């Protein structure tokens, strides 16, 4: 969204050219170094675009100022980088104000508008919705079908339309995205020693001391137990020579036949890589420890090394101690490769028992669900007893995080709900009023499946296609999902806001599939989409909707010319663009009681009232938010939404593709939709 401003240029005492912009009555704010400006531009009227607090575009007399690239291409610090990120999605900003209304009346009386909306849906690009059935079952890659008919599930349509109503009616942000089942909010987890943006946060949790006097590990060791249906605890490991945790060299593990070497040298590149024969596991062992000493790494670290042998029930008295070897995951290191494993002492004979809170356990399980490759391994561990583990405690001594390797993933301090606008208003918003609230009142709209029209049978794909592999940033990519400031890249430990509702760009729907499988076949899936030009037909039944609610629903169904919705799978590849045509049918209150079948059949089409309902809705929203425009589509937020829905003027494919690894490391910021 472009904003009108005044460009101010001046020179510092040292002769450096400083450029600022003044937006409205606000204080001047500096623009980023790299914009090509000169003193002649002082007091020039301009337009600027801010993305998460960063000025990314400046236009003077319609001409965009050149922005030179940063000299530091591989910016991995927490300094904000004004280079633009690209992605097949973007965000509609959240509304700071929530528009409320009265809670719906009781459902045992007739009032408002009752009837149905007839939907004709046309696919503008190929569409794919997976048929029901477990992954891997025969036919699971077919398009969704029930009772022998291809269809778009009513549940999919309902979710898509609810999101649109939430955005356009200034309702609360969808809690299905931001919270867990109990409304406490999701916590994301992280682990890194590479990215300086969160490296310091992570290091402070795990490492104590300082470089002058050596650093030491703060993590503790114990054994994880499942005590009941939803009860978990950790029992502390014994302390041997002031330590619970020890380190052992990889070559000693190999010599004792306890595992294969974790890393091997590539004969061609001469760099170290993961040995595919290595197993991540724990082994019962005996160990002998040496005195603790400082070891040379990138910084001096204090820890105790041990020698080990496989447990056989015959320890050497006063020389060996019982414990567990932890062979954890691979960490790339071109110079040497990972060479140290963990060893923890046996469970204490009188252990300290630390309960794991339900909130922490729920957050850990949620994180397991998001980290698919490790899910099965982690789930098996939390179902077991006496599983070797590592943990950190807070100032009260309670467990604040835990894991099954020495450097485990830890939760950010804040929940996703902490980044939502603080809504102090009580009551019901428009989306809740229409779609229901699980704790208070039921829905008043009912989405039927939309069936493929008989004359569109030729649009069904008869042979499997292989979509390109999708591997893009997730919500944990804070530089993309959180609003950023001008000085520092913010993460989920900081004070900021989420970007908003995530939507996918429309694309041309071409070149989304692979001609042949390359590499690992298990990374691919096979699908049978329905091609562009197919027609589906369905209904949305509604009961007792007010004129404003009726208008809210029609506002997002009856989109302006050139706009379209997105639904289904593979949206990042360009699939799922659909255009909806809505026809309104209203129930007549008198006929309802005169004719047994008048409720849903034989209703008169009243599509001529669609614009009236939409206008009442728009007027209601304008009165609540205190703005005056010819249309809601002219408000700042909905200009961004309109850009995302614009099928007629799609962005250049180059500007909405997933970034490669190097581009991602630069931590660029996504421009707003209108800036793409």
- What six digits make up the tokens of 245? 């945790």
- The Cα–Cα gap between 348 and 323 comes to 11
Residue 495 region, left (φ>0) first, then alpha (ψ -120 to 50), else beta?
Answer: beta
- As a whole number of angstroms, the distance between CA 250 and CA 182 comes to 45
| Cβ neighbours for 339, distance < 8 A, ≥ 6 positions apart | 249, 250, 251, 262, 263
Question: Do residues 190 and 412 touch, judged by C-beta distance below 8 A?
Answer: yes
pLDDT, position 52: 58
pLDDT for the residue numbered 214: 79
Displacement of CA 537 from its chain's centroid (Å): 32
Give the mean pLDDT of the chain: 85
Q: What is the total residue count of the chain?
A: 676
State residue 76's pLDDT score: 42
The stretches in the chain having pLDDT less than 50 are 70-77, 80-81, 134-139, 176-183
| Token couple for 355 | 């309960």
Provide the residue ranges of all domains of the chain, joining segments of one domain with +. Answer: 2-75, 100-106+118-184+420-539+555-608
pLDDT of residue 670: 85
Residues 6 or more apart from 60 whose CB is under 8 A from it? 7, 41, 44, 45, 46
pLDDT in tens, 380-399: 777 778 899 999 999 999 99
Nearest CA-CA partner of 443 in 146, 165, 95, 182:
165
pLDDT for 69 equals 52
Contact 359, 401 (CB under 8 A): no
Q: What pLDDT is stored for residue 664 in this prediction? A: 79
In DSSP notation, 453-502 reads PGGGGGGB--S-BEEPPP----TT-HHHHB---SSB---TTSS--B--EE
pLDDT per residue as tens digits for the range 339-351: 899 999 999 999 9
- List phi, psi (to 5°) of 163: -60, -45
């Amino acid at each position: 969204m472009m904003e009108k401003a005044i460009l101010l240029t001046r020179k510092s005492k040292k002769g450096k050219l400083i450029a600022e912009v003044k937006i409205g009555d606000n204080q001047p704010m500096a623009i980023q170094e790299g914009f090509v400006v000169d003193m002649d531009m002082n007091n020039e009227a301009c337009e600027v675009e801010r993305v998460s607090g960063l000025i990314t575009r400046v236009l003077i007399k319609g001409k965009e100022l050149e922005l030179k690239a940063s000299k530091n291409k591989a910016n991995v610090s927490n300094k904000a980088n004004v280079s633009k990120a690209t992605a097949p999605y973007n965000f509609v900003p959240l509304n700071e104000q929530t528009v409320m209304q009265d809670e719906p009346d009781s459902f045992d009386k007739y009032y408002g508008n009752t009837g149905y909306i007839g939907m004709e849906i046309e696919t503008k690009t190929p569409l794919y919705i997976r048929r029901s059935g477990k992954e891997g079952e025969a036919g699971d890659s077919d398009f969704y079908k029930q009772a022998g008919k291809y269809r778009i599930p009513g549940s999919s349509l309902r979710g898509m339309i609810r999101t649109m109503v939430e955005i356009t009616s200034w309702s609360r942000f969808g809690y299905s995205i931001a919270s867990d089942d109990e409304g406490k909010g999701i916590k994301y987890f992280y682990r890194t020693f590479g990215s300086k943006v969160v490296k310091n946060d992570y290091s402070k949790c795990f490492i104590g001391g300082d470089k002058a006097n050596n650093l030491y590990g703060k993590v503790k060791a114990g054994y994880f137990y499942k005590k009941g249906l939803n009860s978990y605890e950790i029992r502390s490991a014994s302390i041997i020579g002031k330590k619970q945790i020890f380190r052992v060299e990889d070559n000693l593990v190999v010599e004792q036949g306890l595992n294969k070497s974790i890393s091997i040298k590539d004969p061609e590149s001469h760099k170290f890589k993961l040995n595919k024969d290595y197993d991540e596991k724990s082994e019962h062992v005996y160990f002998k420890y040496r005195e603790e000493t400082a070891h040379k790494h990138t910084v001096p670290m204090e820890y105790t090394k041990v020698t080990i042998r496989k447990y056989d029930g015959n320890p050497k008295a006063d020389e060996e101690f019982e414990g567990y070897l932890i062979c954890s995951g691979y960490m790339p290191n071109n110079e040497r490769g990972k060479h140290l494993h963990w060893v923890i002492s046996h469970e204490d004979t009188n252990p300290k028992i630390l309960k794991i809170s339900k909130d922490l356990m729920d957050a850990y399980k949620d994180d397991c669900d998001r980290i698919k490759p490790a899910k099965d391994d982690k789930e098996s561990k939390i179902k077991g007893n006496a599983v070797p583990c590592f943990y950190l405690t807070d100032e009260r001594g309670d467990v604040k995080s835990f894991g099954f390797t020495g450097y485990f993933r830890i939760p950010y301090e804040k929940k996703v709900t902490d980044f939502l606008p603080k809504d102090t208003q009580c009551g019901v918003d428009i989306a809740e009023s229409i779609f229901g609230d699980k704790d208070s009142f039921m829905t008043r709209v009912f989405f039927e499946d939309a069936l493929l029209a008989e004359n569109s049978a030729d649009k069904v794909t008869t042979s499997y296609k292989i979509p390109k592999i999708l591997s893009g940033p997730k919500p944990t990519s804070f530089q993309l999902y959180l609003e950023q400031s001008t000085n520092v890249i913010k993460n989920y430990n900081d004070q900021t806001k989420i970007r908003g509702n995530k939507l996918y760009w429309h694309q041309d729907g071409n070149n989304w599939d692979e001609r042949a499988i390359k590499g690992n076949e298990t990374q691919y899936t096979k699908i049978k989409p329905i091609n562009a030009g197919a027609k589906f037909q369905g209904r949305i039944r509604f009961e007792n909707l007010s004129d404003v609610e009726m208008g809210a629903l029609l506002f997002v169904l009856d989109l302006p010319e050139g706009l379209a919705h997105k639904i289904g799978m593979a949206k990042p590849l360009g699939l799922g663009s659909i255009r909806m045509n809505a026809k309104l049918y209203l129930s007549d209150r008198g006929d309802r009681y005169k004719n047994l079948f008048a409720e849903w059949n034989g209703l008169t089409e009243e599509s001529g009232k669609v614009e009236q309902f939409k206008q009442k809705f728009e007027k209601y929203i304008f009165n609540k938010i205190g703005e005056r425009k010819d249309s809601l589509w002219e408000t700042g937020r909905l200009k961004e939404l309109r850009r995302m829905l614009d099928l007629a003027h799609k962005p250049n494919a180059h500007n909405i593709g997933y970034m490669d690894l190097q581009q991602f490391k630069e931590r660029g910021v996504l421009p707003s939709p209108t800036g793409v």
